[in-house]
Amino acid sequence: MFELTGKTAIVTGASRGIGKGIALKLADLGANIAFLHFRDGEKADETVKELEAKGVKVKAYDCNVADFAASEQVVNDIIEEFGEVHILVNNAGIVRDKLMLAMEETDFDAVIAVNLKGTFNMTKHLCQHFKRKRRGRIINIASIVGINGNAGQANYAAAKAGIIAMTKSVAKELGSRNVTANAIAPGFIKTDMTDAMPEKAREAALASIPLKRAGETEDIANTVAFLASDEASYITGEVIKVDGGMAI
Ligand code: NAI
């Protein structure tokens, strides 16, 4: 449907889960893929093989997105290796769920560092490149809890709300250079992250979804593919919920 042949996409957190689904989808559409993961070498190797089988150029980078200097280095390495980068998908994320009363400073800091600062770091290091090339697509993976909040996720919800506000700000700053920035707010998607939830919390989440099923990584990947495509060139600063109606 959409065509990305000759484009290069950076996807953070693509060794597994939603990021992997996004990388596979963009590769199906012809995009070369540079992806980041954090100390997940075995799964990253598998993902590289699956992506290479699609006939595109692929390279995995073990890099902590929360590290400002390391993420700058990796962006420079990718530009040197791939040439122009057209699409940045900020997907890497972690949770440290606890009620506010029990939440430690380290739980808060870790979640903000990876989810929010990681998105800042990658966007910051690529925006000059996008500006110079006068085109670029930034797609940030937020969450419906960044819109509605969620008990037990004050750190994560704050990070995701921050990502949404950052997306809108960047969209305003870079629009005149033909760079769009949009966010996707997934609901409950079946991945290692949600498999690790307590059974009761998982059941409650599923019960609250009007479409009565968990989302698949492909549901998010399809929306990323659209936002990365020429067909979405007039959409910026938008937040698209992909949640089976969970946050209606
Ligand atoms: P996951 O835990 O299955 O995968 C996370 C990926 O991020 C892995 O590739 C991991 O290596 C990478 N990563 C973790 N910390 C990193 C760091 N410091 N630097 C670089 N890479 C790092 O998670 P999942 O479920 O695939 O989530 C992906 C994104 O979607 C996250 O931002 C998450 O918050 C968001 N999301 C997920 C939902 C779900 O239901 N699974 C719902 C809403 C949002």
Q: Hey, what are 196's tokens?
A: 């690790």
- Assess if CATH 3.40.50.300 describes domain 8-188+217-241: no
Domain boundaries defined on the chain: 8-188+217-241
Report the nearest atom of ligand 1 relative to the CA of 217: 26
Q: For residues 235 and 75, what is the distance between their CA atoms, to the nearest angstrom? A: 25
Active site residues: 156
Helix (H, G, I), strand (E, B) or coil at 26: helix
Q: Using the 8-state DSSP alphabet, how is residue 189 labeled?
A: B
Distance 17 CA to ligand 1 centre (A): 7
pLDDT at 1 over 80: no
Smallest CA separation from ligand 1 atom 17, residue:
64
pLDDT at 105 over 90: yes
Report the nearest atom of ligand 1 relative to the CA of 90: 32
Q: Region of 134 please: left (phi>0), alpha (psi -120 to 50) or beta.
A: left
Report the candidate in 79, 67, 73, 23 with the shortest Cα–Cα distance to residue 46: 23
pLDDT tens-digit series, residues 152-169: 999 999 999 999 999 999
Q: Using the 8-state DSSP alphabet, how is residue 65 labeled?
A: T
**Residue 60 CB less than 6 A away from ligand 1:** no
- CA angle at 139 for the pair 137 and 142, rounded to the nearest 5°: 165
**Residue 74 CB less than 6 A away from ligand 1:** no
Q: For residues 244 and 226, what is the distance between their CA atoms, to the nearest angstrom? A: 18
- Note the pLDDT of residue 95: 98
Indicate the average pLDDT of the chain.
98
What percent of the chain shows pLDDT beyond 70?
100
Average pLDDT over residues 182-187: 99
pLDDT tens-digit series, residues 19-64: 999 999 999 999 999 999 999 999 999 999 999 999 999 999 999 9
Is residue 82 within 8 A of residue 8, CB to CB? The reply is: yes
Q: Region of 13 please: left (phi>0), alpha (psi -120 to 50) or beta.
A: left
How many Cα atoms are found within 13 Å in the side-chain-facing hemisphere of 68? 3
* pLDDT tier at 207, thresholds 50, 70, 90: very high
Q: Region of 119 please: left (phi>0), alpha (psi -120 to 50) or beta.
A: alpha
Helix (H, G, I), strand (E, B) or coil at 11: strand
Mutate to test the pocket of ligand 1, among 11, 36, 37, 209 (most ligand atoms within 8 A of CB): 37
- Note the pLDDT of residue 76: 98
**Residue 220 CB less than 6 A away from ligand 1:** no
**What pTM was computed for the model?**
0.99
Smallest CA separation from ligand 1 atom 23, residue:
193
Average pLDDT over residues 119-136: 98
- CA angle at 222 for the pair 51 and 67, rounded to the nearest 5°: 65
Greatest alpha-carbon pair distance for the chain in Å reads 50
**Residue 18 CB less than 6 A away from ligand 1:** yes
The Cα-based distances of 21 to 59, 178, 223 in angstroms read: 16, 27, 11
- Note the pLDDT of residue 47: 99
pLDDT tens-digit series, residues 73-101: 999 999 999 999 999 999 999 999 999 99
Provide the 10 A C-beta neighbour count for residue 10. Answer: 25
